[in-house]
Amino acid sequence: MREQMQRSIAALWDAALSLTTDDTPADRLAGLVAAVTEAEAQLAGLRLHLLHEAKLAATEAVIDEVRQSVRTTPAQATASLRLAQDLCDRFPLIGAALNDGSISLAQADAIVAGLRKLPGRLTRAELTRCEKEILQHVDTLGPSELRVLAARLVEIIDPDASDADDAKRLAREEAAAYRGRFLRIAPDYHGSMRITGQLPVADAALLSAQLDALMQDASTYTATGEAASRDARRADALVLLTQKAANTGTLPRHGGDRPQVHVTLDLDTLTTGLGRVGLIGADDVDGLPAGEVRRLACDAGIIPVVLGGPSRLLDVGRTYRTFTPGLRAALMQRDGGCAFPGCTATPASCEAHHIIPWWQGGDTQLGNGILLCPHHHRLVEPDPLQSEPSQWRVHLDPVTGLPWFTPPRHIDPARRPRQHRRFRPEQIRAGAPPCPDTSPPDTDPPNFPVTGPADHRPDLDDLIRRSADIWGDGT
């Protein structure tokens, strides 16, 4: 068997070495990369299957060799053994997809991590349905998005019970996160101290808000000739935070105010204090218990972003030229960072962009706004001196209110709209089509309303005032 594998790998190497940069067609090179990727997934699936077989046969020597291997850490070895068991015993359809190369090991690991969070009351038939549902999206979603969608599949198969399940799960995770908190500072014996730790989501959100308030812009490092990464600037902010606390005994303020944590909650949660609360800008966080948000209110400013209907934002727009803090908070909740496909810029580093420019009569409201990093803001800003087909175009989906981008003709002659992968789970949960009309647009993008008519829209400020007895005033 080993000889067969070696021959197959040698054949792939021969094919790769026979290619030349100058005369190799792109489709041939892409085909070879795809073949290697598929083989890599199949080998990973085979390895996990063999590990499961070794565990069933109680072959402790094999298991011990995996745990002691210098090619992986003990934590990675333990995770592999657990994944092998889950793929074979609990989620066989995901295991089969990995074995035939339909999904990658990273995708399989993410899907299983999400499926593990589903309620224990689900039957085998319901779990199988969840597996089939998630496998329909492996060609369009990456590991992070698949994990989120898999964890929320109960909302599709049993929406009535999903809220109660969410509350129980969040309570368990909150208690486990508190028990598992730690902070470790140890020397690396090369002039530095290595800091590692783990905090509950609410506490980490407060720390992150404090650091964002102090983090310097990258341009401030130009004078020193240093191209400081975001991680390096955050490390400097942590040092500055400790210096301020030591020198003054007070914590920093952000923009003249206390650092703010943006949370999302639906109308029922706002008026009753019961339900799931989301954390803006943290795509990998599934939510916070309402009690944790009340505790956060004592330590940091909270901007509540109220959702109505099927997780749709209430329009809090005003007729100002610049976006108000409330509107920016709404954009942060909806877009979760730069909305341009593939961009990973965080909400704090983004700017609010008018889809229809203000100078063209575009309103400053949620239905005409989008969050973009400075680079992509410049990229999509309409240029009156260029033709429409030569520019990027943005519009909001009429079903979900989420942004889509139509590329210029020189990038895609067919001008097929594209969307950031982080929005795909919401598109799927809302039952919206995977892509809007792909024909090239000939008119200005519509200013899609995100909610109903203004006459029927609850006043956000009034809702917050009426809920003060439940949520407190943050003092």
Mean pLDDT of successive 10-residue segments in the chain (475 residues)?
A: 75 75 70 86 91 86 86 88 92 93 93 88 88 91 90 75 71 85 85 87 83 80 78 87 66 44 56 56 54 45 49 41 75 88 82 80 82 85 82 88 91 90 80 58 40 40 50 44
Residues 445, 453 contacting (CB under 8 angstroms): no
Q: pLDDT (tens digit, 9 = 90+) per residue, 243-299?
A: 777 665 555 444 334 445 555 655 555 445 556 566 555 554 555 565 555 444 433
Residues 157, 126 contacting (CB under 8 angstroms): yes
| Model pLDDT, residue 120 | 79
| Model pLDDT, residue 132 | 93
d(CA 248, CA 228): 27
Phi, psi of 227 (to 5 degrees): -95, 80
Whether the predicted model's global pTM rises above the 0.95 cut: no
Secondary structure (3-state) at 370 = strand
d(CA 365, CA 290): 28
Q: How open is the CA angle 6-12-16, to the nearest 5 degrees? A: 140
| Model pLDDT, residue 98 | 94
d(CA 475, CA 473): 6
| Model pLDDT, residue 301 | 45
- Residues in contact with 62: Cβ distance below 8 Å, sequence separation at least 6, in sequence order: 51, 54
d(CA 163, CA 13): 52
> What is the Cβ-side half-sphere exposure of residue 176, based on CA atoms within 13 angstroms?
6
| Model pLDDT, residue 62 | 85
Secondary structure (3-state) at 357 = coil
Instruction: Find the DSSP H helices in 71-217.
Output: 74-85, 92-99, 105-115, 124-135, 143-151, 154-157, 159-179, 201-214
Cα 69 vs. chain centroid, distance in angstroms? 33
